[in-house]
Amino acid sequence: MNNSIALQKTLLKEVELNGVGLHTGKQVKLKFVPAPVNTGFVFVRTDVTPNVKIPADIQYVINTDRGTNLQKDNYKIQTSEHVLAALVGMGVDNCFIELDESESPIMDGSSKFFVEAIESAGVVEQNERRCEYVVTEIISYRDEETGSEITLIPSDTFQVTTMVDFQTKVLGTQNASLDNITDFKNEIAPARTFSFLHELEMLLENGLIKGGDLNNAIVYVDKPLSESNMERLKEAFGKEKISVSPNGILDNLSLHYSNEAARHKLLDVIGDLALVGVSIKGKVIAIKPGHKVNAEFSKKLSHIIKQERRHNVPKIDLNSEPLLDVNDIIKILPHRPPFLLVDKIFELSKTHVVGLKNVTMNEPFFAGHFPGAPVMPGVLQIEAMAQAGGVLLLNTVPDPENYLTFFMKMDNVKFKRPVKPGDTLIFKLELISPIRRGICHMRGSIFANGNLMTEGELMAQIIKRKD
């Protein structure tokens, strides 16, 4: 079992690039800016005062027409997916994406230039644990109308496989896979967006690709190209000559990969899944993916994650032999009854601990809190959680009996439900960041009766006893 902590990452410095919006045709400046821990990805419209921040969150998706588009307070972000895919592919967790227009620059229709910009800025670790969702059960979504389907299955790493079938002679069935996110830069990022000629003509008629260029998209010719069609395309793209290659691609554009279309669909899946807001440890299998089904799956996954976090009770057998009983705990912690508030430890690693306390009517604090309506004081719930964290902290030294643990601070504490006599409390604490200089920063939760009772962030320090 790997107990190492995956830390959040951001950029070392700002980096800027310029391009044109595919649909607006407007010149746009995009700037990647380092962001604090737990920021996630946030688009910032710098063309309005005050600047408007639009989180890259599935709740802000307004439509998926020709891209994944976000909106907050009447301000939009168009074609977000290529930018987000680049950030995920480069291992970034927190970043502000500043735009002076509503649409991200299309560049060459891929994530290549965004990846290169991020690489030039540098990526650095931050002192807080990465927010990760570990897939334990199969999750799937199917669009019955289109036959598109996305399935997420357990895996030790984040992996993606896409399978596409366009049912045309020029572009039939293709598959693509990404087994390791570190391969994104070379294997997926350069894969460009694509369109069929009949789609292109429709978009041109409706003025939807004012920034379109035959260099920023692969155009597959799926219909006979008449002279009038040729002249129209020449005019639209400012070309003196337009031709069709033997492989059915307009204007002799060379493919980067034989399955470039499937690879670009994989890129889109990664970008759209970024809207879930957490790193995913699981394998995605996408059949005939598109922005619509990607967004619907992301909505479903986001909902599942939020529900699981609310009810993420550690799965332990209360009748099994604990890892540490109360006698073992007394050898580690300096606390003694009646102030020892942890009865058992069921799990203990370098990064987490799971403990238990049986709350009885005989607890001394019930005598005055409150007569006729006994409730465990919130401060003692935090103390009990901190003691479980103390076991985690003192487990890092060979002679815990020679150390004391001191509570330093608590943040974001929330009391969800009252703790009453008869409740069996289950404590779960995880390191937010690695232990440094004897200081431990933890995220803790207390569960009872299948419900989250209390949660918060705690910081404690171990200090050697004075002789």
* Given 82, 264, 291, 441, the catalytic residue: 291
How far apart are alpha carbons 270 and 264 in whole angstroms?
A: 10
Dig out the tokens for 114 from the structure: 């965004």
**C-alpha distance from residue 194 to each of 37, 73, 197, 211, 396 (Å):** 35, 31, 10, 14, 54
Give the DSSP per-residue string, 122-150.
-EEEEEEE--EEE--S-EEEE-TTT--EE
| Residue 23 annotated to the active site | no
| Residue 352 annotated to the active site | no
- SS3 (DSSP) at 407: strand
Give yes or no for a contact between 404 and 463, defined as CB atoms under 8 angstroms apart: yes
Give yes or no for a contact between 22 and 211, defined as CB atoms under 8 angstroms apart: yes
Dig out the tokens for 13 from the structure: 């410095």
Q: 3-class secondary structure for 217-285? A: CEEECCCCCCHHHHHHHHHHHCCCCCCECCCCEECCCCCCCCCHHHHHHHHHHHHHHHHHCCEEECEEE
How far apart are alpha carbons 184 and 299 in whole angstroms?
A: 24
How far apart are alpha carbons 353 and 17 in whole angstroms?
A: 45
Catalytic residues: 291, 369
